Amino acid sequence: MTIHYDEQKALFHLQSKETSYVIQLTKQGYPAHLYWGKKVRGLQLDRLLELKERASFSPSTDLSQLSLSLDTLPQEYPTYGSSDFRTPAIQVALPNGSTVTELSYESHTIRSGKPALAGLPSVYTEQDDEAQTLEITLKDELTGLTVVLSYTVFENFDAITRSATITNNGSSTLQLQRALSMSLDFAHDRFEMLQLSGAWTRERYVHKRKLEPGMQSVESRRGSSSHVQNPFIALLAEGADEDHGDVYGASFVYSGNFIAGVEVDQFHSARLFMGINPFDFNWQLEAGEQFQTPEVVLVHSDQGLGGMSRSFHDLYRSRLIRGQFRDQTRPILVNNWEATYFNFTADKIESIAKVGQELGIELFVLDDGWFGKRDNDTTSLGDWFVDRNKLPNGLEDLVSRVKKLDMQFGLWFEPEMISPESELYRDHPDWCLHIDGRRRTQARQQLILDLSRADVREYIVRVISDILSSAPITYVKWDMNRNMTEIGSALLPADRQRETAHRYMLGLYEVLEKITSAFPHILFESCSGGGGRFDPGMLYYMPQTWTSDNTDAVSRLKIQYGTSIVYPVSAMGAHVSAVPNHQVGRITSLETRGNVALSGNFGYELDLTKFTEQEKETVKDQVALYKEVRHLVQFGDFYRLLSPFEGNETAWMFVAKDKSEAFVVLAAVLQEPYPKLDRFRLKGLDPNRDYELVGEEGAYGGDELMHAGLKMPQFHGDYASRVYRFRAV
């Protein structure tokens, strides 16, 4: 059993594969957080709760126990207004205008399996014996408000999920102003906080900072998880690094506005919290109504960041991603976007696909510009019918041409957007997010459809389904190229306008569930200007995401490295593009562009017809190599060896689950004259097995490769790289 309850001590002990998580109820019914860390047997865990009377500036809620103050009690789901001055997990406005609530224990249940979250993506189980779920019901006696804290512990994954279900069991309407998914208090603040931050074409860079007194947080107010911040943070204990020490990761399964942070209080305890961003959020909770928070996935590792990452990778690959592509290797594709942009014909597309077929590429993807009157980005979003000027014989003809080359066919959509210059906008100008009387701010000459509306959702499902049913399409790239402004809905009353952003996300998830369920044979890839919505919520519906619009190989070293901190490589799209690179203007070799892109769902995004014969041979070799190693890249254990954020060289590797083979990528950015002789060490191999390096004679011991290492190659020229393949002898 993974969840134990000691009734005498009122103590819950949750045990995952290698982790313990401990909660104790105080005599007043407050759930106190005692421990989260390396798995322990738990003989005297109740002794971890230390209550000490402080000065009157931390008041007590119980005169018979002055040592208990909510301001100092380590809590699981703190409230506002009743002696805890720290960041609350929940805040509710009552009919009398006050915002004070006090939640205490009412009951609990322990059940097998993991219930789904209504209308929201979440980690799942396939059999009930894979996990146990603890549900602790808390109640505010004055209002009848109840909160059910849900904790799921997995038998075979080192992860715990948390969420909260908030129900108004009173008779009056309540205003939910803050509804986080989780909160917990550490006894100390001796951590570094790691976050994944950046911008468009510079997503998910690794940033670390030492915790200081006060608030440190990341958040999005953009209507999506965003390029700027990612809904993930990790706390690294003193001395923790890539391979050693305690690391605590928190990942939010949600694609909209979020907040994640740590507050360090006056006694140097650290409160970790995560959930929907309370900024500009309010949810009207009528009597009898319920609000479900999204899910947070918590992972602890005592094997550093690498151990934490591999736990997230394993869980998300097999129990977040769904559908027939979850366990299948993904096809090698060519996308025409950087080859043609909006300017193409059916003959041009066929010519690119024909060369792709000769090179061994398996899938052609037609990007933006095939619909409406879409000759540039000022028009036609929402008009999902084929542009007969470019494709006079329709989409069916083009797909047929590509299929005759023994290639699959994929298509780009941006269904959540609408162009003011479109038939759809002329017919339905109120269908976009807007506020009457306010300017409708445009980005990329487009507005956002209001997915909180049922009629808009029905339209999107219908028109996209019609296109997908019209031809044998096996891949969809689902794009979203702007963030929300003037967030309002024409159908919501005034007192519910601040629900719009979250209702949009619920509407998006409903649309995605319907479309992906109706077309299970289609591989869906999420995109938002590249990595602007690279989050677990989207991975639940679409098993991969376009990692970044920046395809420059050197930039991708940091982008893909940072993304791997929490997301599996099977979720990352990585393409070879033309040089000079269209985003940064850098010129890198075809070899290095290929070597970096091999670490993801591999593809090309350029005009294949412009390749020389020598370049075609290089690409043939890259395609053949990827077909041999993609099972490793997409489903093997991932190890980071050298960080691009710490030095000139970057290296990572993939190891088979049975440790029978490995694939290593090494890249060096700049070269120095008369360089030092150096080595780099591998990870994850079996120290007692011997490995051959493909292309060389002889064998290396696994222990030798991991401890003595390999000599660093002496490259000639900047932006150089090399790949290594090892097989157990």
Kindly name the residue from 84, 479, 552, 637 that is annotated as catalytic: 479
Mean pLDDT over each residue of the chain, to the nearest integer: 96
- Assigned token pair, 497: 């306008």
The SS3 of residue 302 is coil
pLDDT tens column, 682-691: 999 999 999 9
pLDDT mean over 327-345: 97
> What is the reported pLDDT for 59?
80
Per-position DSSP letters for 708-724, written without gaps between them: T-EEPP---SSSEEEEE
CB 363 within 8 A of CB 409: yes
- Assigned token pair, 462: 């219908």
User: Which single residue is written with the structure tokens 């408000």?
Assistant: 145
In this model, does residue 81 exceed pLDDT 70?
Answer: yes
- Say whether 397 is catalytic: no
Model's pTM, two decimal places?
0.97
- Say whether 479 is catalytic: yes
> What is the reported pLDDT for 67?
75
Alpha carbon distance 456, 169 (integer Å): 32
Higher pLDDT, 56 or 440: 440
pLDDT tens column, 270-321: 999 999 999 999 999 999 999 999 999 999 999 999 999 999 999 999 999 9
In this model, does residue 674 exceed pLDDT 80?
Answer: yes
pLDDT mean over 123-151: 97
In this model, does residue 68 exceed pLDDT 90?
Answer: no
> What is the reported pLDDT for 82?
86
* 109 band by pLDDT with thresholds 50, 70 and 90: very high
> What is the reported pLDDT for 60?
80
Alpha carbon distance 107, 161 (integer Å): 20
> What is the reported pLDDT for 53?
78
Q: Residues near 181 by Cβ (< 8 Å), separated by ≥ 6? A: 162, 163, 164, 252, 274, 275, 276, 293, 294, 295, 296
State the number of CA atoms in the 13 A half-sphere of 553 facing the CB: 31
Residues facing 639 on adjacent strands: 653
CB 431 within 8 A of CB 424: yes
pLDDT tens column, 212-237: 999 999 999 999 999 999 999 999 99
> What is the reported pLDDT for 55?
66
Q: Residues near 310 by Cβ (< 8 Å), separated by ≥ 6? A: 637, 638
Q: Smallest Cα–Cα separation from 281: which of 499, 442, 449, 110?
A: 499
pLDDT mean over 69-88: 93
pLDDT mean over 195-202: 98
Residue 573 CB neighbour total at 10 angstroms: 26
CB 664 within 8 A of CB 705: no
Residues facing 151 on adjacent strands: 134, 162
pLDDT mean over 600-608: 97
Alpha carbon distance 532, 580 (integer Å): 24
Per-position DSSP letters for 63-96, written without gaps between them: TT-TT--TTTS-BSS-BSSSS--S--SEEEE-TT
- Assigned token pair, 558: 């940091």
pLDDT mean over 410-429: 98
> What is the reported pLDDT for 684?
98
Secondary structure percentages of the chain, helix, strand, coil, to 5: 20, 35, 45
Number of residues that this document lists for the chain: 729
> What is the reported pLDDT for 1?
59
Residues facing 475 on adjacent strands: 410, 523
State the number of CA atoms in the 13 A half-sphere of 472 facing the CB: 11
Q: In this structure, which long-range contacts are made by residues 682-688, counting pairs with CB atoms below 8 Å and at least 24 apart in sequence?
A: 682/639, 682/641, 682/653, 682/706, 682/709, 682/710, 683/243, 683/306, 683/639, 683/641, 683/653, 683/655, 684/637, 684/639, 684/653, 684/655, 684/659, 685/655, 685/659, 685/726, 686/659, 686/728
> What is the reported pLDDT for 382?
98
Residue 398: Cβ-neighbour burial (10 angstroms; 0-12, 13-18, 19+): buried
Kindly name the residue from 185, 367, 549, 637 that is annotated as catalytic: 549
> What is the reported pLDDT for 512?
98
Output the CA angle 385-389-393, nearest 5 degrees. Answer: 75
> What is the reported pLDDT for 182?
98
> What is the reported pLDDT for 69?
84
> What is the reported pLDDT for 146?
98
* 401 band by pLDDT with thresholds 50, 70 and 90: very high
